[in-house]
Structure 1
């Protein structure tokens, strides 16, 4: 299939070819086959060459996609109000995973300061060297911000993760006449091709009613994000065990409950690639130069959190969560009569909350221990769907 996408620069093309060679060698060293999760891990995170670990701009008009914090500060300001109520029950600390350009952190910290809420430490776990540099520039006026390379062993406070789970490597499985197979990557004339291998039962176990799905059905399963949730639960429960203060994680991403994720009409899965604001479904296109994502199975995430000792505090659409958090009132801090300032913010709010835009596709899940979401969030809660 020929994709009609913008041509990369010579330097970008050179880096992509080097990454192609690295992945191809990894395939050869593993008897000619690697799981798709390994391909995705290298394409996104191979040191110096992967999409998130290389040097290309990822976000904004010069990047490949735009996230909610890039659209409007109202997003971060809304989260700040929720974080303030959660920190009042726990500790004045925040950890953000995958902080993008740093705009979310800046908006959250600015709004918390305006509320008179002190954050003793705002830690960012960031795998991308390029994004870390942008964050350090954006947040140079906030001395409480620090950077970490990995999960701390214990933590109390608020965890933020906006579009983090969707960037974690997934495994692909396919239903064949002989049963479920794992779809991985091989080589044919130096090109990447899909090849199917016997499937570990643990992968199929995540799919509800797997036997009922039709032959030819392709989907993703999420052992890496499940492991992330397990570590998150361990970190928050250890925080409470060590210092008596609880914590909560606010996770925002696009995805579905399992009953909706594994529907018959999603027979080719949810894998998607983003390159220069073009979306397509070919993960082999210029590895290292494009993002590769999959929708989140929120049922699997919630189940893992609960098994790790956390409570499911809430699950709803992004629109409902932001509106319950007071984003409409925050918009009205700008007078509607000031059209030059008000209209762009009103349009941004519409993009974040409209069912036709990000409002329904994106979901918010909150998990934690020894804290509660304010009661106003109960009216739109959809936890029963998980």
Structure 2
């Protein structure tokens, strides 16, 4: 999602927390003895049926605050993103001998629309898996009601089948998966969770408790390398998701686009505050305990953990690089040149969007792409120059 970088300290006043959602979370905290692990809190805040940020009917995706949205993703910035990604997907379909695309967390359906348009008859089916009923409705409106010819090609699935094949696409899906929070107190690793604020029955406060024996961030750095008070995240759910996909895929490939770092950067001792961040009306703040249900909660991705999870479950890494390099390798500049804009204004908008996708100070360096394959390894187009797999 095109969210402000962590160095951006602009903050918008937080909305009031959703009372029904807060009551649900407070009840679960009480049922669990007065303390709730943060990954469960984040799961409820984002995905509680009918109440969570993604499941409660909010318009989360859009270009500007005035439309009530909180962030915008690359496919909404420009159709050049999907057109360029389609070159890699098409190569992967050919290399793996498959004819189906699976997209997880499809947002407004913009990327699906772009891939379907560019892949055409190269695919027989496009399957979307999305937990948000509101977004699924927007996707259906965009992809089927507006284009009836796609009614037999685009389907929605509530869960992953026991086996499947094809090419998986996940644009900014890993960052929204719940994480555990770890705190180093100078002697021990603690787990940060949430309890109810005694002064505000529907308010929440942080509470640290001893972590399970042996629990610590997945890094080779010694504990004494970390500054006391350091907070960071671990990503068990995202890694389990990737492992499940790898185990159930019989043949195919997968490409995940997200913001994040390899392990050595993610758990660098100078990154003392972790990467947890919230977003509301295209502004950022660091506190997920206020405005519950009305703000996005997200963290950066540990791509080393994702790579290992995929490998251990049967995938082979095709490559890992920055979004800017990946899109350049896949022909983004050539796609822009071929658009033939009708006006100078349109051309300027397209060039500005392209710069946001590839520039190092925009999305080009912060966002990364990792690719996997099950079946014969192939020289994936997007990683032919600037592959950083050795940094994972």
TM-score higher than 0.5 here? yes
> Secondary structure at 2:365's aligned position in 1?
coil
How big is each residue's C-alpha offset from its partner over 1:204-224, in whole Å with a ceiling of 9 and x where there is no partner? Answer: 152331412121111000010
Aligned to 2:89: 83
* Structure 2 equivalent of residue 133 of structure 1: 137
Q: Partners of 1:282 and 1:307 in 2: how far apart?
A: 34
Counterpart for residue 5 of structure 2 = none
Q: Do residues 181 (structure 1) and 181 (structure 2) align?
A: no
Q: Please name the residue that 2:211 is paired with.
A: 199
The structural deviation recorded for 1:147 is 0.3
2:109 aligned with 1:102: yes
Within 2, Cα distance between the matches of 1:205 and 1:334? 46
Matched residue, 1:120: 124
| Structure 1 contact 203–221 (Cα < 8 Å) conserved | no
Tell me how far apart the structure 2 counterparts of residues 41 and 334 of structure 1 sit (CA, whole Å).
41
Deviations 1:244-269 (A, max 9, x none): xx211100000000000011221010
Match of 1:219, SS? strand
Secondary structure of 2:274's aligned partner: coil
Q: Distance in 1 between matches of 2:213 and 2:245?
A: 25
Aligned equivalents of 1:81 and 1:122: distance in 2?
16
State which drifts further: 137-146 or 252-261.
137-146
Q: Distance in 1 between matches of 2:366 and 2:14?
A: 30
Counterpart-to-counterpart distance in 1, 2:175 and 2:214: 20
Listed as ranges, the gaps of 5+ residues in structure 1 are 240-245
Partner SS, residue 207 of structure 2: strand
Please name the residue that 2:355 is paired with: 350
CA distance in 1, matches of 2:266, 2:197: 32
- Which secondary structure does the structure 2 equivalent of 1:111 belong to? helix
Structure 2: 5+ residue runs without aligned partners?
A: 1-9
Deviations 1:254-303 (A, max 9, x none): 00000000112210100000001111101012111110000000000001
Q: CA RMSD in A?
A: 1.7
Cα deviation, residue 65, structure 1 = 0.4
Matched, 1:167 2:176: yes
Equivalent-residue separation in structure 2 for 1:324 and 1:26 (angstroms): 48
TM-score, normalised to structure 1's length?
0.92
1:145 counterpart = 2:154:
yes
Asked if residue 297 in structure 1 is aligned to residue 302 in structure 2, the reply is yes
TM-score, structure 2 normalization: 0.90
Who is 2:321 aligned against?
316
Of 296-305 and 334-343, deviating more is: 334-343
The separation in 2 between residues aligned to 1:173 and 1:320, in whole angstroms, is 33
TM-aligned CA deviation for residue 202 of structure 1: 5.6
| Aligned-partner Cα distance in 2 for 1:125–1:157 | 14
Aligned: 1:93 with 2:100: yes
1:319–1:57: structure 2 CA closer, same or farther, 3 Å change rule? same
User: Kindly tell me: are residues 88 and 384 of structure 1, through their superposed partners in 2, closer, same or farther at Cα, counting changes over 3 Å?
Assistant: same
State the partner residue of 1:242: none
By how many angstroms is 1:373 displaced?
3.7
Q: Distance in 1 between matches of 2:70 and 2:313?
A: 35
Moved more, 331-340 or 363-372: 331-340
Partner Cα separation in structure 1 for residue 191 and residue 54 of structure 2: 26
Please tell me whether the aligned partners of residues 86 and 373 of structure 1 are also in contact (alpha carbons under 8 angstroms).
Answer: no
Deviation at residue 64 of structure 1 after TM alignment = 0.3
Greater shift, 246-255 or 186-195, is seen at 186-195
Q: How does 1:343-382 map to 2 (within 5 A)?
A: 343-370=348-375, 371-374=377-380, 377-382=383-388
